[in-house]
Amino acid sequence: MKYNFIAIEGNIGAGKTSLATMISEEYNARLILEQFEDNAFLPMFYKDPEKYAFPLEMSFLASRYQQLTDQLGTQDLFKSFTISDYYIVKSLIFAQKTLPPAELSLYTRFFNIINKQLPKPDLFVYLYVKTPKLQQNIKLRGRSYEQEIQDDYLDKIQEGYFDFIKQQTQLTTLILDTNSLDFVRNPTDYDKIIDVMHQTYKPGIHRITF
């Protein structure tokens, strides 16, 4: 890989963790995985979003910041590069869709302070998956607290990511339309993604449909 820090992003159920893990194993890369399952607010949020949105988003922001500073602040001489299954900006994207204006204003102040202290990825990969397939993936992996996620919530999160991407002219971004792929079970599909990631890109948005 030509990059020192790659961030894989996408909606809930897009396959971020699977792809990041597969790449890290093939290329001996340092892997940073989001520790969402340790967040006690997550099941409560899905049951009562209005009550638990703010503590959920704040706890995620704190956890992501601590993890990224711990991992990216040290060099691992035995790893070729670093790959993560999230980018810190997802904190703001989700908060914009879940918090009321007053709480979002406060949250954004904290986010801006934290974001300035973290390095940006050399390559930002967004896995674009349509909502029906996202729902299929969510059902298949069987996390109980995710089973009631509604289509409109997934649509809002996807919209938030695209709004962010449109503004990132200095970030090297790959939007990979993976709706026709099954890169977890089909090695050929995985190789297609790897071939695309081996290309050289200038900063900006690059859309790839398979």
At 153-172, the pLDDT tens digits run 999 999 999 999 999 888 99
The token pair that represents 97 in the structure block: 């869709």
Q: Which residues are part of the catalytic machinery?
A: 85
Q: What confidence score (pLDDT) does residue 37 get?
A: 67
pLDDT averaged over every residue in the chain: 93
| Lowest-confidence pick of 100-109, 120-129, 135-144 | 135-144
SS (H, E, C) the chain: CCCCEEEEEECCCCCHHHHHHHHHHHHCCEEECCCHHHCCHHHHHHHCHHHHHHHHHHHHHHHHHHHHHHHHCCCCCCCCCEEECCCCCHHHHHHHHHCCHHHHHHHHHHHHHHHCCCCCCCEEEEEECCHHHHHHHHHHHCCHHHCCCCHHHHHHHHHHHHHHHHHCCCCEEEEEECCCCCCCCCHHHHHHHHHHHCCCCCCEEEEEEC
Q: What is the pLDDT of residue 144?
A: 83
| pLDDT tens by residue, 24-77 | 999 999 999 988 767 889 889 988 999 999 999 999 999 999 999 988 877 777
Which domains does the chain show, CATH number per domain?
5-209 (3.40.50.300)
User: What pLDDT does 78 receive?
Assistant: 75
Mean pLDDT over 73-100 rounds to 89
Q: Phi/psi of residue 188, each to 5°?
A: -65, -40
Average pLDDT over residues 131-138: 95
